[in-house]
Amino acid sequence: MPIAVAEGHKGLIPEDHPLALGVAGRGSSPPTIDMLQNADVLLMLGCTLSEGTTVSFGNKVIPKRAKLIQADADPTEIGKLYPLELGIISDPGCVARDLLLEIKARQIDRRPVEELPRVKDWLQRKKAWEDSLLPLRNAAKVPIQRFRLFHDLRKALPREAIVSAGSGGTDRWFEHAFQSLAHTTYTYSSGWRAVGAQMGEALGAKVALPDQLIVCIISDGSLMMSIQEIATAVAYNLPVLFVIMHNDVFGNMRLYQQKGFESRYIGTELNLPNLANIAQDFGAYAERVEKPEEIIPAVNRALASGQPSFLDVVIDKSPENLLPPIGFR
């Protein structure tokens, strides 16, 4: 069964696995939404079906005609939002283990998953989507395009790195454009949390997992809400890599002001200084990145420094690029 994860659980299974659909919700890719919409049955394990995962509780993600099976340890979650074919009050891990035992007992067809017709169809759709993104991922435009940034970060970072992102438009771009190969559990607590919390989350993850590489992709607005924590990172020598998406706006809110209030903007323009200079003054390793070809060398230098590191990446702030191009606005 192809597997999609709810918002806040990106990388629960590595996204290069043939059965991985990525994130279900506002950051989904078009082939992921197509696969979900054409499902006959959805088995939902421990999924609360949040506003973000369902895109405002309608049928944009959860298909109207599919049979829904929901397993959750909390009985109040069962059937709370969508009518079910079957509800199971149980720890979802127990349900998954029991299903595996049943499948083995029944000697279900165990061909390689790539040979199954439905999976073949998914892989073809996924490849077509990936191929269509190549020009964007290799874009040499300045300011830097988000597809290029996320593509180069994936190339530069080791597979086991735990990579997370801030809330708002940053989170939606991350879910849409970055390939997660490790679970973001420790630095991404849910699909909804305060802007500005991400620095503390990432530093806490590094304390809990000192041998893991922790990377936090954070917006300039979010960084400014907790910028004093750079001093904390330096004081306790917590070598987390922070990649700052710097476009001088609160992008998510600015987009809604543009669409819903005829571009009458208030409180969404930031006009920030060079944030790398500020991080350096705190004693961290920092660079400003203004051209796409600078991304990978800057990441390599930051990781080699062994220090708390901040890359101030200047990105495009044009209205059409504030959120990923998936139609969910």
Q: Which of 69, 91, 123 is the last residue of a domain?
A: 123
Same domain assignment for residues 113 and 158: no
Q: In the predicted model, is pLDDT for residue 326 greater than 80?
A: no
Pair 172, 51 in one domain: no
Mean pLDDT of 307-317: 97
Categorize the per-residue pLDDT at 252 as very low, low, confident or very high, splitting at 50, 70 and 90. confident
Q: Is 76 found in the same domain as 158?
A: no
Q: How far apart are CA 28 and CA 14, in angstroms?
A: 15
pLDDT number for residue 253:
85
The reported pLDDT for the residue numbered 251 is 84
What CATH number is attached to the domain comprising 100?
A: 3.40.50.1220
Q: Are residues 152 and 278 in the same domain?
A: yes
Same-domain pairing of 157 and 272? yes
CATH code (residue 203): 3.40.50.970
Q: Of 62, 94, 123, which residue constitutes the final position of a domain? A: 123
pLDDT of residue 61 exceeding 50, the answer is: yes
Q: Which domain holds residue 302?
A: 140-321
Whether residues 162 and 269 fall in one domain: yes
Please say whether the beta carbons of 143 and 317 come within 8 A.
yes
Banded model confidence at residue 290, pLDDT cuts 50, 70, 90: very high
- 213 and 103, same structural domain? no
Number of H helices, E strands in the chain: 12, 10
- pLDDT for residue 310 is more than 60: yes
Q: What is the pLDDT of residue 190?
A: 47
One domain, residues 82 and 176: no
pLDDT of 189 reads 46
pLDDT score of 191: 53
88 with 167, same domain: the answer is no
pTM, rounded to two decimals? 0.91
Backbone torsions φ then ψ of 144, nearest 5 degrees: -65, 135
The owner of tokens 């917590």 is: 238
Number of domains in the chain: 2
What strand order describes the sheet that includes 67-72?
41-45, 67-72, 86-89
Same domain, yes or no, for 198 and 235? yes
Verify that 177 and 104 share a domain, yes or no: no
Residue 63: inside a domain: yes
Percent of the chain topping pLDDT 70: 96
Please report whether residue 327 resides in a domain: no
The predicted pLDDT at position 327 comes to: 57
Query: Which token pair is 2?
Result: 């192809």
For the ranges 11-15, 110-114, 200-204, which has the lowest average pLDDT?
A: 110-114
- Based on the domain organization, do 283 and 158 belong to the same domain? yes
